[in-house]
Amino acid sequence: MDHFRFNKTLLLIGALSCLLLSTAVSARQLLAAPVPPELTQFCSGTDNPSLCVDTIAPFLSGSFDPVKALESEINATLQKASEIAASISKQLEDPTTAKNALDALNICKSQYDDMLDSIKESLNLVAQMNVADAYHKMSAVISYKSSCDDAYTESPGVEMPFRQEATTLFELSGNCVTVLDTIVNTHKV
């Protein structure tokens, strides 16, 4: 009798699990709004179109506006750069940070400070429809990131603790540069 009750309970748990999983998948499909084709087209020429879509889609409302989409991607870049800059500052303030990492961290702090200024200027320039200058400011972001990377490359035995985040930052800023380049070269906003 206990074996029968165990099997019955197991069957009931299995059925409920399938029902819950099915409900969760259905709810997720309902919550995931379809990506507008204009956004897919907007992001199609970037180096990382899925990241572009993923970072812009949550901020879309109403009809598709390429300037608002670009601002969303630049804001995502600003957010990631701010997170990394905060991590760098925290490591510099931490007395347990390895002494041989301090030079690289100081160089990166300077580069990320400049990067944050450049990204903020890009946002202002896009708002003014000055995409050519915004393109140059966003291109500088990639250079600042590379200079930070080089500081770690030139510091033997020191690992960059924010390497993955820096890769995401590179992808975000690259998407911005590509979109800005496309706008500049096709003269459409």
Average pLDDT of span 30-51? 85
Share of the chain above pLDDT 90, in %: 71
Same structural domain, 104 and 172: yes
- Can you give the residue range of the structural domain that contains 99? 35-186
Same structural domain, 141 and 90: yes
Whether the pLDDT of residue 132 is over 90: the answer is: yes
Same structural domain, 25 and 41: no
pLDDT-derived band at 12 (thresholds 50, 70, 90) equals very low
Q: Is 187 left (phi over 0), alpha (psi -120 to 50) or beta?
A: left
177 within 8 A of 169, measured Cβ to Cβ: no
- As given in the structure block, the two tokens for residue 36 are 């507008």
Which pLDDT belongs to residue 62? Answer: 85
Same structural domain, 180 and 135: yes
Same structural domain, 87 and 5: no
Q: Is 175 exposed, middle or buried (0-12, 13-18, 19+ CB in 10 A)?
A: buried
Same structural domain, 97 and 84: yes
Whether the pLDDT of residue 20 is over 70: the answer is: no
Cα gap 138→119, rounded to integer Å: 6
Whether the pLDDT of residue 36 is over 50: the answer is: yes
Same structural domain, 9 and 42: no
Q: What is the DSSP letter of 95?
A: T
Q: How many domains does the chain have?
A: 2
Residue 117, CA distances (Å) to 44, 74, 81, 136, 160 in order = 28, 12, 10, 13, 22
Same structural domain, 117 and 137: yes
How many Cα atoms within 13 Å fall on the side-chain side of residue 1?
Answer: 0
Secondary structure E strands in the chain: none
Same structural domain, 27 and 40: no
Same structural domain, 16 and 48: no
Phi first, then psi: give them for residue 39, nearest 5 degrees.
-70, -45
CATH number of the domain where residue 165 is located: 1.20.140.40
Same structural domain, 17 and 65: no
Same structural domain, 75 and 161: yes
Which pLDDT belongs to residue 31? Answer: 52
